[in-house]
Amino acid sequence: MLRILTLCHGNICRSPLAEVLIEAAISADPLLAGRVVVSSAGTSDEHAGEGMHENSAAILSARGLRSTHQARLFTPALAATLDLVLAADQANLRNGRSIIRMADTQPEIRLLRDFDPTAVGRDLDDPWGYPPAEYERTATEITTALPGLLAELRDRL
């Protein structure tokens, strides 16, 4: 079983949106379904225990996908259970690396958008505080990274 985690700051907008979109893509792939577990967390505990932001939840609900979520903090103990961490942006990549260094087992960490060949090295836009259209743009950025991510996951299995 391959375990991956999407990582952003507060775990209410980008990382839960990515978690569910990736989860849906994996479920639809016969080579990956049942072999990859996806979760999410944040590098800050300021939203721990909260649900997904309403705009992220609305995007997922409109697509018939799960919108339930409870924000949680990325910890060294959690990191030790993972194979791959997908950071939303450079700041969370740095913070995630710091947390991973304290883990007993250290997963690989990369930017989520590195799996989109046209966006390598670019941040996943943070829609927090912006209108719903920005959440849609973030969902599109996640979706364009899915083919590359799924190919990588198939190679790892």
CATH number, domain 2-151: 3.40.50.2300
pLDDT tens-digit series, residues 27-69: 999 999 999 999 999 999 999 999 999 999 999 999 999 999 9
pTM higher than the cut 0.85: yes
Contact 154, 31 (CB under 8 A): yes
Catalytic (active site) residue 14: yes
Residue 116 appears among annotated catalytic residues: no
Residue 13 CB: number of other CB atoms within 10 A? 30
Q: Which residue among 14, 72, 113, 123 is the active-site one? A: 14
Question: Quick check: is 154 catalytic?
Answer: no
